[in-house]
Amino acid sequence: MGQLDGKVALVVGGTARDGFNAIGAAMAHFLADEGALVFPTSRNREKVEATVNALTQKRPYPKPVDLSKLTFDARNEAALEACCDYLEGEFGPIDILVNAQGILARYNAEDIPREVWEDILGVNLLSVARACQIVGKRMIGRGRGHIINVASETSLRAIPYVAAYGTSKGGVRALTAQLACEWARYGLCVNAIAPGLIPTDLNRAVLEREPERLRRFLQATPANRLGVYEDLRAATIFLATCTNYVNGITLPVDGGMSVVLFAAY
């Protein structure tokens, strides 16, 4: 039996084209491996279908899943409310919320257009805050629940050319602490994971285009390697099962990079 048998998990931004290769999708699989019934969302129906099909192989759903209820933009609050109503009506109370939605754009800080600021903050921060509120109210009413927000190495230290992204992830880190401060008394656990440099669809092109910059990153990382999705497994399960005495933390999973004074950019 797994540590999460009988639990229902909602993973916003938890899909990938092949059902696995993205941070949110990987976290969805880790939860399913421990017995949770996991529901990943995305605005891309093909990704939702691929990920649900992959998860079915690990933890079969007790009844057919309405993919349309999981297909929406993370900023669509009405769709998220409808998704929560559907899941709780058909499968049971949401025990675990993972916020893994995110977009990235690279600019010199002085050149970031207003619409890019609005898009990145809207997806990476505001939609996370609203998802926490929407699901958090339900959890508060039950006196239990785990929320895991995906922050970033950029929430802990500055990295050039991603000012909007870093600002949004810094906001996620602060939001996590604020919610824990208020909600721990109700039995909720609100924490965050800050992944280091793990190749994903968001950053893979940059890593391939700038091998020298990648070399310097690795040189500045005590583990001297890129991260892989599997590195996030233990942190994900820990934060999905901890007591409410573990609250408000942002857990770096970064090969030790966040504790090193010097980083070569």
DSSP characters over 51-65: HHHHHHTTS--SS--
pLDDT, residue 210, reads 81
| Main-chain phi, psi angles of 241, to 5 degrees | -125, -5
Which amino acid belongs to residue 151?
A: A
Quote the tokens at residue 146: 């785990």
Percent of the chain with pLDDT over 90: 83
**DSSP one-letter code for 35:** T
Percent of the chain with pLDDT over 70: 97
Residues 209-236 have a mean pLDDT of 90
Residues 85-105 have a mean pLDDT of 98
CATH 3.40.50.720 correct for 8-199+228-259? yes
CB < 8 Å & 24+ apart, contacts of 70-73: 70/39, 70/40, 70/41, 70/42, 71/41, 71/42, 71/43, 71/44, 71/45, 72/41, 72/43, 73/43
Given the residues 61, 161, 165, 186, select the one marked as catalytic. Answer: 165
Q: What is the dihedral of CA 69, 75, 78, 83, to 10 degrees?
A: 30
Residues 208-234 have a mean pLDDT of 89
Active site residue 165: yes
Distance CA 123, CA 42 (A): 12
| Main-chain phi, psi angles of 126, to 5 degrees | -65, -40
Least confident of 74-83, 126-135, 222-231: 222-231
> Is pLDDT at 21 greater than 90 in this prediction?
no
Q: How much is the pTM?
A: 0.95
Residues 100-104 have a mean pLDDT of 96
Q: What is the mean pLDDT of the chain?
A: 94
Instruction: Please give the helix or strand (H or E) that residue 47 lies within, else none.
Output: helix 45-56
The pLDDT tens digits for 27-67 are 999 999 999 999 999 999 999 999 999 999 999 999 999 99
> Is pLDDT at 1 greater than 80 in this prediction?
no
Q: Say if residues 141 and 94 touch (Cβ distance below 8 Å).
A: no
Domain ranges of the chain: 8-199+228-259
Distance CA 127, CA 132 (A): 8
Residues 80-87 have a mean pLDDT of 99
